[in-house]
Amino acid sequence: MAIKFRGVDFLEFDSLLTDDERLVRDTTRKFIEDNLIPIIEECNRAGRFPRELVKPMAELGFYGASLNGYGCAGMSNVEYGLVMQELERGDSGVRSFVSVHSALVMYPIYTFGSDEQKQFWLPLMQKGEKLGCFGLTEPDSGSNPGSMRTRAKKSGKEYVLNGEKMWITSGSIADVAVIWAKVEDEDNKIRGFLVETDRPGFRAADIHGKWSLRASVTSSLSLQDVRIPESNLLPKTGGLKSPLMCLSQARYGIGWGAIGAAMACYDCALQYSLFRKQFRDQPIASHQLVQQKLAWMISEITKAQLLALQVGRLKDKDKAAPQHISMAKRNNVWMALECARMARDILGANGIADEYPIFRHMANLESVKTYEGTHDVHTLIIGQSVTGIDAF
């Protein structure tokens, strides 16, 4: 029984968007409806990333969408956010793929790279002809990336890299990895390096047995004496601030993406509650406790939309600070996970079947709540901002 998504707009949110913003959102929505929704449950069951969508998504300008030049779409941050919303309404794993490729690989090349690096990689990545991954997290270094053990050592006109990375989206399908390492010759300063994945000593192994993000490729990376030319150093990187700037880009997209997952769960639960009958041959939507859940969900989704839009408007004026992005990521992912759980509740036993998208979203959002800064880490980022005291 297919429940077709109808859109979620309680407070005339669309009236706050420009014509261009609505066009971007609606184009992405149609793409997801036509291309991802029909196959996503099969992909999730099989643990398969829908590789066949990589090129079509490139043709719509999804990769590096908010960058200028190099064939990129040059979207505003709000337009980019609306793309992320619709991608995650389809599936968090597919949004993760686009987020990583755009915000964590193309963005650091664009921001920290040399002209040669930008001219070579960005046009190919924008077309989806080369794929990227982002190597920051390690087996023992998650919320505290400054404790990373990966090292780079200068050797003539080369760098030699050694280390392990973990929970890397797209690791085994990437052509290039942005690897963050402490440079021994620079007092262990953290720098970014472009590492082609076919170099000797580089190995990517997929992580299996995931109950979450099953339609996304997640890998571990191993670098054993991987030699790269010194020209592969991202020259403008320096210190932990560089990867954190990349994470801000990705976290911003997640703040919007989570709204899409919440919308999918809410709209499915609302439609289901109107045709599912129980007690006195009445739709369960007539029951007070069901209405309470639906009222909570639409209220929180509406607040999340306004929060994401304001952060996007600030970002377009170059005024969005990390704590603003942390608030959007933290609130909106929490909200979406609660919506998924309430929607599952409304559907009862049907809520666990992949005839409906709810349990898939719920499982995915458990990962989204953890990655790109856990809920608790974002709490402390906001806390530091309002008190001036760092609690890490």
Summarised one tens digit per residue, pLDDT across range 361-371 is 999 999 999 99
Residues 65 and 83: their CA atoms lie apart, in Å, by 9
Mean pLDDT of 47-73: 98
The pLDDT of residue 237: 97
State the average pLDDT for the chain.
97
Out of 79, 164, 338, 372, pick the active-site residue: 372
**What's the pLDDT score for residue 113?**
98
Interval 1-30 mean pLDDT: 94
The pLDDT confidence band at residue 2, using thresholds 50, 70 and 90, is low
- Tens of pLDDT along 124-137? 999 999 999 999 99
Mean pLDDT of 287-316: 98
**Helical (H) or strand (E) element with 158:** strand 158-169
pLDDT of 3 reads: 85
Domains in the chain: boundaries: 13-126, 132-232, 241-387
Contact indicator for 54, 175 with CB cutoff of 8 Å: no
Average pLDDT over residues 340-346: 98
Provide DSSP, 323-381. Answer: HHHHHHHHHHHHHHHHHHHHHHHHHGGGGGSTTSSHHHHHHHHHHHHHSSS-HHHHHHH
CA end-to-end span of the chain, whole Å? 48
Just give the CATH number of 132-232: 2.40.110.10
Q: Are 261 and 364 in contact (CB under 8 A)?
A: yes
285-299 pLDDT, tens per residue? 999 999 999 999 999
372 is catalytic: yes
- CATH superfamily of the 241-387 domain: Butyryl-CoA Dehydrogenase, subunit A, domain 3 (1.20.140.10)
Query: For the residues 159-166, what does the mean pLDDT come to?
Result: 98
**pLDDT confidence band for 145 (50 / 70 / 90):** very high
3-state SS, residue 153: strand
Q: Is 10 helix (H, G, I), strand (E, B) or coil?
A: coil
- pTM for the structure as a whole: 0.97
Q: 202-228, pLDDT tens digit by residue?
A: 999 999 999 999 999 999 999 999 999
- Which CATH number is correct for 13-126, 2.60.40.180, 1.20.120.450, 1.10.540.10, 2.60.40.1260? 1.10.540.10
Does residue 1 surpass a pLDDT of 70?
Answer: no
**Structure letter (DSSP) for residue 34:** I
